[in-house]
Structures are given as C-alpha cells and as structure tokens.
Structure 1
Amino acid sequence: MVQGMKQQILNELSRIEQEEQVRILYACESSSRAWGFPSKDSDYDVRFIYIRPVDDYLSIFDTRDVIERPISDMLDMNGWDIKKALNLFRKSNPPLLEWLHSPIQYAERYSVVEQIRQISPLTFSPKSCMYHYLNMAKGNFRDYLQGEVVKIKKYFYVLRPLLACAWIEKHNSMSSMEFDALLTDLIPAGSPLMAEIQELLTRKRAGDELHMEPKQHAIHEYIEQSIAHFEQTAAKMQTSDQVQDLFRDALKEVWGGWR
C-alpha cells in the first residue's frame, strides 16, 4: 500500500460521516488489490456500508441509499446504506459477500457486520453467485479475448470469476477473494495451465505492460471448457432465500433505544 494511503482513506471516511451525517459500519478494499493481483498503478477501490439516523428511515420521503465519492485518479469510494445492503444480502449478492470477506479492511464498527458474516451461510445461493461470476467471465471473454492476438491482462478478469465458479462447485460456499488461494485450491501444481497463469501473474505484479499479445493456449482452453461446464452446472442448481432481519438491531445499537 502506498505510504499514507490508508490514513487518507480513513480521513475520507471520517469526512463522509460528517458531510452525510451517517455512521460507517464497515469499509474495505475491493477489486484487484483485494484479489491479490494489483499492478503498480492500480487504484484503490474502497467500499463501505453505512447507517443513517433513525428519523431518516421513519420519513415518508425516500433517501438516496448510495454514497459515491470519486476522490482522485487513485482513489474511488462507494458506499451502500445498511438497508440496501441487507436487501442485497437476502439475494446472496456476490459483490457484497466479497466486501464482507475482503482481506484488506479499513474499518469495522459495531456488531452488525459480524452478525451478517455469521448468518451468510444461511443466505448463500450457489446458483445466483455462480451465474454472477459466469456472466462476468463470459462478458470479458467475449469482449477482450477473441482472436489470435488478445488483451492479455484481461485473462485475469475471466480466470478469477471462473475460478470462483469452480470454488462454489467444489465447496458449496462463497469463494475466496484472493486469487492465489483459488489457484492453490483449484489448479494442479506443475500443470501447463498453472505455468501460464503464474508467468502472467508475475509479470502483472512486476508492473509489466500487458497489452496485445498472442493468446495463451492452456488458459484459453481452460476458459472455453469451464464456460461450457458451468453453464450446464448453474442451470441444474437449486435456488434458496433465507435471511434474518438485522435492520432494527443495527439502528438500536448505533443510535440507542427508540420506539
């Protein structure tokens, strides 16, 4: 992490609390830094969950449930109201589930986020999460990796969601955010596929320019086979929807007793 960046992030979170009159319950890193394959010039994508005062939720007027702050070219901050987050949690929203288990966390206050983590196995929907990752992989594959010469860094944005699908199939749980953990668990050590992935990963972390290059045959074959496989697998999965209501408890804990 760039020296001083964490403190800048904490300062910006405090400023958001003051300007928006909210309390931030949780803040973390998302995207390539949390996944474990940032480039030297990767920006910081901070995501947070916040809660408003009780009166805001009792008003007849709707209050915007997202806070967005494009701070600079290196720092982007985006937050969801706890009510929005809980509604998405009910639907096993993969980005939210990733935030909750991010390896880079900037703030966690009060107990509500840990309570959400504890019940997340009850709300986890393998089918909806697998479709989310599968569609992400298919879109990036279609847009960037066709032909004999491809945008080679985009392999990571297809491999990671496909490995998430493989994790869900193997473990029936939300996948690890960290790319290395996915590789270790799911790709055979010493295989041509692992060799190609590790070479690209080393280059990306070193800051090499990964633009248009000949396609990687082992990776390409894995992608095509995996997309076909997970399209069939996801279609056969069962759906589920279970959740406990944490909204009132969060209000009481943060803002005190109320009726």
Structure 2
Amino acid sequence: MIDNLDIDLAPVVAEQPDPLLFATVSGAHLYGFPSQDSDVDLRGVHLLPAADLVGLREPEETRSKTWVHHGAELDLVTHDLRKFVRLMLRRNGYVLEQLLSPLVVHTGDAHRELAELAPDVITSHHAHHYRGFAVTQWRLFEKTAELKPLLYTFRVLLTGIRLMRTGEVQPHLPTLSAEPEAPAYIAELIAAKAAREHGTLPGLDRSRVAADVERLHTALDEAQAATSLPDAAAGHGALHDFVVRVRLES
C-alpha cells in the first residue's frame, strides 16, 4: 500500500510486459494536494531486452497507459532505462522527482543505486526547468482561475528555490509551505482543491497572488545566482557504466 492511497498497486507492476526497475507515485499525490477525484500518476523505468536495442525495429522506449483499477483511474508512464538516464542528464527535474519519490510502488537494488547517483546530475541549470514550468502553469491559471495550475505554479517555484539553496529535490508543497517565501494561504488553497480537481476559490485576491508569484520568481533567480551547485553534471561516466551493467546483467 502507498501512503494516502487505498489501493494495492502491486498487481499493476506484475502486468507489465518487461521488468520494472522501479515504479513510484508522482503528480498531485506526491506534490501533496490530491483531490477526491485525482487520478493516480505512476512513473517508472522498464528494462528492454538488449535485442530490442540492437535490431532494426524502433524500441519502445516510452510506454503510456491509462485505465481504471479497483475504481481508481491510473496513468502509468515508464521509460526504458537508457532513455530515463538521458533525461536525468538533460536537467529534467521531473525524472528526478519520480526517481526520488517516497511513494514507492516497486523498487529494488537498481532503483536504490540509481537514486544514489542522482545528486551528481543536479546543476544550477535545473532552475530553468522549474522557472519554465511555473510560467506555463501561471498562464493557465490566468485563463482558467483554477486552483490546480496555481498550486503547480507555487509548487515548482518553491521546489526550484529549495533545490538551488540545498541541492534537495523536494516536490511536496505542504513541506515547502514552511519556506519563508511561501505565501501563508497555501494551506487554504490545498484544502479548497481537495474537494474538487478542477475547482476554483471565489474571492481569491488575484493581484496579491500575482505579486507573490513574481516575488517567488525573484527568489528563484537570486537562489540560482548564489547556488553552490555546479554548472555541469558530473555523473555521466558512472551512469553510463550503470546502464551497461544493468542491461547486461538482465
């Protein structure tokens, strides 16, 4: 069982056509603001046979499936190990959050070893990932006034700030709300969204919210400028060796 979920996800792992190195829960459950009608976002890594990568057919490096399991809508996306590691090396914050998610459905030695290698790929340029996603979600909020994109905006900005300052990948918004820059009303927004996935909050002071978002952008810029994180990833060699060894051992 996974914290905050009432379904057993082990059968989902057993149904996959190739072995999963890991599967974790991402999305709103990981971020700390699921709604009653939120789907369950599962993310992970599958391991293709070596023959699939050396032949003429295009390998199925990414698999996506959505279905209903014991009354819950599940969304499963997995990448082959090689593709996932390449994404890690492209300053992709999403895959780091998925790899390091504490909501673990399936794990093993390879998952733990890969997680131990994750700090070596974190750079100051990961701030661009979180800044860009915040801009996209803020524009969506301006169009819809829905709480979901607003919470995503706050979440990614605060995650980026924490990452630049400490090197820690922390996607959980209730935890991040303790940061000094976090608006005091985040808990109210989370409570309002819990009732409905696409809900709004009547009476929300949008000018105040806009000022807070701008302030967090400034804080992220300053945190990136002052960070001790390196300019480039240092883990390429170790990750290459890891991918080769895991593939051959399979």
Residue of structure 2 equivalent to 1:103: 102
Larger Rg: 1
Establish whether residue 247 from structure 1 lines up as the match of residue 243 from structure 2: yes
1:124 paired residue number: 122
Matches within 5 A, 1:1-259: 1=4, 3=6, 5-6=7-8, 9-17=9-17, 22-72=18-68, 74-109=73-108, 111-127=109-125, 129-145=126-142, 150-171=145-166, 173-187=167-181, 193-194=183-184, 196-207=185-196, 210-211=199-200, 213-216=202-205, 217-231=207-221, 234=224, 239-242=231-234, 243=236, 244=238, 245=240, 246-253=242-249, 255=250
TM-score relative to the length of structure 1: 0.81
The 1:25–1:200 alpha-carbon spacing in structure 2 relative to 1, beyond 3 Å, is same
Structure 1 distance, partners of 2:137, 2:198, is 19
Q: What is the CA–CA distance in structure 1 between the aligned matches of 2:247 and 2:164, rounded to whole Å? A: 37
**In structure 2, what is the Cα distance between the partners aligned to 1:208 and 1:90?**
33
**Contact kept in structure 1, 2:181 and 2:216, CA below 8 Å:** no
Q: Which moved more, 1:30-39 or 1:203-212?
A: 203-212
**Identity rate, percent:** 19
Q: Is the 8 A contact 1:89 1:96 kept in 2?
A: yes
- TM-score normalised by structure 2 residue count: 0.83
Q: Unpaired segments of 5 or more residues in structure 1? A: none
Q: Taking structure 1 as reference, are residues 112 and 2 closer, same or farther at Cα in structure 2, changes over 3 Å only?
A: closer
CA 43–209 in structure 1, closer or farther in 2 if over 3 Å, else same = closer
Aligned residue type for 1:241: A
Please say if residues 65 and 81 of structure 1, whose CA atoms lie closer than 8 Å, have aligned partners that are also in contact: yes
2:141 and 2:149 in contact (8 A); partners too: yes
CA displacement, residues 168-223 of structure 1 (integer Å, 9 cap, x when unaligned): 2321x1431211221124447xxxx31x2122222323559732634335433210
CA contact (8 A) 1:160 1:179 kept: yes
In structure 2, how many angstroms separate the alpha carbons of the residues matched to 1:36 and 1:207? Answer: 14
Q: 1:207 to 1:142 in 2, by over 3 A?
A: closer
| Partner-residue secondary structure (3-state), 1:46 | strand
Q: What is the distance in 2 between the residues matched to 1:67 and 1:132?
A: 23
Report the AA paired with residue 14 of structure 2. S
Following TM superposition, by how much is the alpha carbon of 1:89 offset from its aligned partner in structure 2, in angstroms?
1.7
Cα distance in structure 2, aligned partners of 1:175 and 1:59 = 37
Contact between 1:163 and 1:186, CA under 8 Å: does it hold in 2?
no
CA deviations on 1:78-136 (whole Å, 9 max, x unpaired) are 11000101111222321110011112110013x22222211211111221x21111111
Cα separation, 2, equivalents of 1:13 and 1:241: 31
Contact 2:192 2:201 in 1 (8 A): no
RMSD: 2.6
Q: Cα deviation per residue 1:51-87 (whole Å; 9 max; x = unaligned)?
A: 0222223324331201111113711111100010111
Number of residue pairs aligned between Structure 1 and Structure 2: 237
Matching residue's letter, 1:132? H
